[in-house]
Amino acid sequence: GARYIHIFVPCPLGWGSASHDTILLARLARETGIFPVFEAERGEVVSVSKIRRPLPVEEYLKPQKRFAHLFGKTPATETIARIQAMADRNIRKFGLLQEGAE
């Protein structure tokens, strides 16, 4: 039958990040809840990659020049808070927190 796989691949050139940070950015996307890693069968989530210690989204956003406007002289705290809320929603929706995590 048909299968679908969605892969998260950071793009150093387009994102304005160092090429040696590619793996780090992918891990930060998962550990902040921005990109939940899960498996689904017939529309039902059957497994998730748990987060041991959730990180704030700023750790994922700051190393990328494409988000520099959020951290300028006047930080866009409301926008960052909305992104954090989306990540937090992903963490709750998919049950990403490992037992005993913060």
CA distance 1 to 63: 40
Q: Single out the residue of 93, 94, 32, 98 nearest to residue 59, CA to CA.
A: 32
Q: In sequence order, which residues have a C-beta less than 8 Å from that of residue 102 and are 6 or more positions away?
A: 53, 54
As a whole-number percent, the residues of the chain with pLDDT over 90 amount to 89
pTM: 0.89
Per DSSP, helices labelled H in 1-102 are: 12-15, 22-32, 58-61, 77-94
DSSP 26-78: HHHHHHHTSS--EEEETTEEEEE--BSS---THHHHTT-GGGGGGGSSS--HH
Per residue in 16-36, pLDDT (tens digit) is 999 999 999 999 999 999 999
pLDDT at position 73: 94
Question: Could you tell me if residue 53 is left (phi over 0), alpha (psi between -120 and 50 degrees) or otherwise beta?
Answer: beta
